[in-house]
Amino acid sequence: MRRRVLLLVAATTLLVLVAFLVPLAVLVKNVATDRAVQNATVQAQALTSLVATTPADVLGVTVAQVDAATGYDVTVFLADGTRLGTPVRRTPLVELAWRGRSQSAEVTGGREIVFAVDGPSRVIGVIRTFVPQVELARGVTRAWLLLAGLGVALLVVSLVVADRLARRLVRSAIDLAAVSHRLGRGELSARADVSAPEELGVMARALNGLAGRITDLLREERETIADLSHRVRTPLTTLRMEAESLSSSDAERIAAGVEAVNRAVTDVIQQARRRGAEPSGVAVSVDAAEVVRERVAFWSVLAEDTDRELTVDIGPGALPVPLSKVDLEACVDALLGNVFAHTPNGTAFAVRLTARPGGATLVVADAGPGLPGPAVLRRGVSGSGSSGLGLDIVRRAAEQTGGEVRLEPGSPGLTVFVELGALGAR
C-alpha cells in the first residue's frame, strides 16, 4: 500500500511538472532568443544614421568598436563595394537588402539581421549583424538547470509528504490487523486507535464496538452458566446424599457418577469464567491411556448390567495428548454413551487406544444399527431424536488437538475413529 501511494504521487507529480516545466523551458529559450535579436537590432539601427553622414574611415573605426564591444559580428557594406567591420561575403539577405528589403533569418550557426540604409534616390549601404547561437542561447542552460532543480525539489517534497501520509495509513491498517488478531486469540481487552485517519478511524471504532459487544455477550454467558450451575448443584447434592445412604456397591457407582457430573459442571463454569481472559500460555496435557482406562472401567459396570460384551485394547505406557482431563473424559463418555443410547441391550462393543505418529487414535466400535452418516458430526444433528451434541463434543475435542473424527459404518455396526494430536502439534 505504501509503495503504491508513492508510485501514484510520483506519477501525478511528474505529469504536473512536465505540463508546466516544458512550456516554461520553451518560453525561456524564446525570451533569450528575442532578447539577443533585439539587442543586435538596436546596435545595428544605431549605425544607420552614421552610414549616411560619416566618412568611410571614421565609420570603419566606429563599426570596429561596436563589433569589439558586443558579441555580434557587425559588417557594413557601402555602395562603392567597401566592407567595414567583420569581413564576410555578401549573403543572399545582403543582396535582398540592396533592393531595399530589411529582414532577418535563421542561418547556419545563428541568426542574420540586415538593414538597408536608404539615400535620397537609392540604397547607399547595408548593415549586417550576425548573432551567433551562443548569444541566442545565453542564460538558457542555466535557466533550464534551475527549472530542473526546481522540478526535482518539488518531486522530492511531494514524495516525502506522500511517504509520511502513507506511513500513517499503513501503520493504522497494521494496527487494526494486529488488534483483530489479538481479539481472535481471545484478548478481548485489545482496542484499536480511533484517531486513525478518515475511514480507518471509522473501522477502528466499529472494531472496538464489536469487541465490546463480544465482551458483553461472554459476560452474559458466564452469568447464565453460573445461574445454571446453582440450579444443577442442588439436585446433585441431594443425589449424593441419597447415594451415600445406600449400603450396596451400587451406591459407590452412583456416587461416582454424581461426582463426575459435579466435576463436569464445575469445569464448565471455570471455562466460562476463563473465556475472554488473557491467554495463559500454559500448555494443557493429560495421559489419554489413564483417562480411557478410568472411563471404560466406569462404563463396564453398565455393560455387564445390559449384557454387552466389552473388548478393551489400550496400548502400554503413557499417551499424552494436549487436552484437559475433563475434556477427554467428556469425549470418551460421549462415545460410550452413544453406544448405550443408540444400540439395544446385548450389543457388543470395543474400545481401542493406540499410539500413532503424531498422536494417538481412539477407536470405539459397536455392532449396533449404526448412524445416518457423517452429518451427525454437526452440532445439533442426531439420527435418533437426541440433542445431537455428543459427537460434536468428540469432534471439537479432536480438532482442539489438531486431529479429526471419522465414521466408518459397518454391516451392521459403526466404528468411530478419533485422531488425537500430540503435544506441540496444535
Residue 148 lies in a domain: no
How many Cβ atoms from other residues are within 10 Å of residue 418's Cβ?
A: 24
What does the alpha-carbon distance between residue 418 and residue 402 come to, in Å, rounded to a whole number? 11
pLDDT at site 385: 46
pLDDT at site 351: 94
Looking at the structure, tell me whether residues 290 and 268 fall in a common domain. Answer: no
Residue type, 241: M
Confidence of residue 190 (pLDDT cuts 50, 70, 90): confident
Strand partners, 117: 125
Cα dist from 224 to 274, 308, 326, 335, whole Å = 14, 39, 21, 27
Looking at the structure, tell me whether residues 329 and 206 fall in a common domain. Answer: no
Residue type, 169: L
CATH number for position 13: 3.30.450.20
CATH number for position 378: 3.30.565.10
Residue 206 lies in a domain: yes
User: Which of 240, 274, 308 lies at the terminal end of a domain, its last residue?
Assistant: 274
Q: What is the DSSP letter of 80?
A: T
Q: Are the CB atoms for 110 and 135 separated by under 8 Å?
A: yes
Residue 166 lies in a domain: no
Residue 191 lies in a domain: no
Looking at the structure, tell me whether residues 381 and 290 fall in a common domain. Answer: yes
Helix 2-53 with 56-69: angle, nearest 10 deg? 170
What does the alpha-carbon distance between residue 176 and residue 191 come to, in Å, rounded to a whole number? 9
Looking at the structure, tell me whether residues 247 and 358 fall in a common domain. Answer: no
363: pLDDT strictly greater than 90: yes
Tens digits of residue pLDDT in 120-133: 778 888 888 898 88
Confidence of residue 386 (pLDDT cuts 50, 70, 90): very low
Looking at the structure, tell me whether residues 235 and 294 fall in a common domain. Answer: no
Phi, psi of 286 (to 5 degrees): -150, 155
Please identify which residue in the block is written with the cell numbers 465414521: 407
360: pLDDT strictly greater than 80: yes
Looking at the structure, tell me whether residues 230 and 251 fall in a common domain. Answer: yes
User: Which of 74, 109, 140 lies at the terminal end of a domain, its last residue?
Assistant: 140
164: pLDDT strictly greater than 90: no
- Sign of the dihedral through C-alpha 370, 373, 374, 375: negative
Contact residues for 121 (Cβ-Cβ < 8 A; gap 6+): none
If you average pLDDT over every residue of the chain, what do you get?
A: 81
Looking at the structure, tell me whether residues 354 and 377 fall in a common domain. Answer: yes
Residue 189 lies in a domain: no
Average pLDDT over residues 136-140: 87
User: Which of 251, 274, 297 lies at the terminal end of a domain, its last residue?
Assistant: 274
Looking at the structure, tell me whether residues 302 and 389 fall in a common domain. Answer: yes
Looking at the structure, tell me whether residues 270 and 308 fall in a common domain. Answer: no
Supply the range of the domain harboring residue 9: 2-140
Looking at the structure, tell me whether residues 98 and 218 fall in a common domain. Answer: no
The count of domains in the chain is 3
Looking at the structure, tell me whether residues 6 and 132 fall in a common domain. Answer: yes
Polymer length in residues for the chain: 426
Residue 298 lies in a domain: yes
SS3 assignment, position 388: coil
